[in-house]
Amino acid sequence: MKRRDFLSAAAAATLARGATDFAPKAKRVIYLFQSGAPSQLETFDYKPALEKMRGVELPDSVRQGQRLTGMTATQTSFPLVPSQFKFQRRGQSGAWVSDLMPHIAKVADRLCFIKSLHTEAINHDPAVTFFQTGFQLAGRPSIGSWISYGLGSENQDLPAFVVMISQGTGNIADQPLYDRLWGSGFLPTKYQGVKFRSQGDPVLFLKNPEGVTAATRRSYLDDLAKLNTFKLNEAGDPEIATRMAQYEMAFRMQTSVPELTDLSKEPEHVFARYGPESRTPGSYAANCLLARRLAERGVRFIQLFHRGWDQHNHLPAQIVNQCRDVDQPTAGLIEDLAERGLLEDTLVVWGGEFGRTVYCQGKMTADDYGRDHHPRCFTVFMAGGGVKPGFSFGETDDFSYNIVKDPVHVHDLHATILHQLGVDHTKLTFKFQGRHFRLTDVHGNVVRSVLA
């Protein structure tokens, strides 16, 4: 069998859904996932009434019997604690942004804040898993895998779904992350995320072993593909075709990835825009710069995980560092995309797995406090990709404890992201064990109020 024939067989056996349901507003997504759960009270959900209620017990009428984590369930007191940090209205939109985020404040008129997001999960692992897969238990495909499966790739020399991880300077002992969070679940493994590393080769085994030339590698893969094609025709297992396609992608990545990750030709003003850490491999700033380069090259779904947001105690000291990690690089990425004409068709999403409590966890002093997990209301923001710029949606009560207007569920956010990519979330399905599964399960509504 000729090489083009067995590659066609491989492609057919792992065919992506490969089409939109309607005209898309975005071609790609950059998801800046803030792992550990940023406090909305210190960042974007300003609650001035709390200033006069410091130390007052959280009213039962506000708590409404909502569940607590094991970390505060045994507390006998739930004193309210206002943020130590100042807020100001920003830009023409007047969005409230904390002084902790001065660079994000400058791009507030490009941002669409959703202040009424909520989830059922109250602990990190199920909550992060839920955000990534639409289900609290491990095993389902990740959002990037669904999008890769649904739309395919714009660049045949790079994966459709790329993941990068950075460690924040807030809580350096933050919750771990697992490769299954960007896994393909029951979808063919062709659609799983490819994790770029910060040390050594960006991707494992990118270089040929000593003594193996590119021509030798090419010949080896051709012969191996013939054997795999024989087995594919005999067994009909789509994972064989996936393996063949991945071998071919890996071969092409030996050229495309070194060029992608070589930042030597980036001008000095670009590094200045993303901040001083942008020259440090593996930092959030460097990953934001790489995200822009991946977007330029047509990678469909780019996800950055930044750890360090789990401030159960010593929040004032930790969150200053954590916000410093992400503030300038996030704003720099948005400005860079806009300047290059990419923001219009790139949807940027920023947020964590849940929010933080208005009451103090542990001991509260004049200059120190902590906050526990709070799934009932928190803030994310989006930019570009056809969402309304300079817009805030949803409202919480005076305690940032309950939603009082326009609730948005995780499934709704997923449905909205897919909609901007031209995908009807109810139609992006995959049959597994007799059932047609989808990212939003049997839920989800597009949040049309945030669409431009």
Mean pLDDT of 327-352: 98
CATH number for the domain harbouring residue 295? 3.40.720
Q: Are 168 and 75 in contact (CB under 8 A)?
A: no
As given in the structure block, the two tokens for residue 254 are 């030996």
Look at the chain and report how many structural domains it folds into: 1
Mean pLDDT of 129-148: 97
Separation of first and last alpha carbons in the chain: 51
Residue 14 has pLDDT above 50, yes or no: no
Q: What pLDDT does 150 receive?
A: 94
Confidence at 209, pLDDT banded by 50, 70, 90 = confident
Q: Out of 19-33, 137-151, 223-237, 371-385, which region has the weakest mean confidence (pLDDT)? A: 223-237
Helix (H) or strand (E) holding 96: strand 95-98
Task: Give the DSSP letter string of 11-62.
Answer: HHHT------SS--S-SEEEEEEETT---HHHHT---GGGGG-TTPBPPHHH
Q: Are 274 and 288 in contact (CB under 8 A)?
A: yes
Percentage of the chain modeled with pLDDT above 90: 79
List the domain range (segments joined by +) for residue 65.
Answer: 3-450
Place of tokens 């930042």: 263
Of 91 and 6, more confident: 91
Q: Are 338 and 110 in contact (CB under 8 A)?
A: yes
Residue 7 has pLDDT above 60, yes or no: no
Taking the model in full, what pTM does it have? Answer: 0.93
Residue 431 has pLDDT above 50, yes or no: yes
Q: 411 vs 29, 313, 407, 438, 448, CA distance in Å? A: 17, 30, 11, 11, 14
Amino acid letter for position 46: Y
Q: Are 329 and 284 in contact (CB under 8 A)?
A: yes
Confidence at 17, pLDDT banded by 50, 70, 90 = low
Q: Are 366 and 81 in contact (CB under 8 A)?
A: no
- In this structure, what DSSP letter does residue 209 have? P
* Burial zone of 279 (CB within 10 Å; 0-12 exposed, 13-18 middle, 19+ buried): middle
Of 35 and 259, more confident: 35
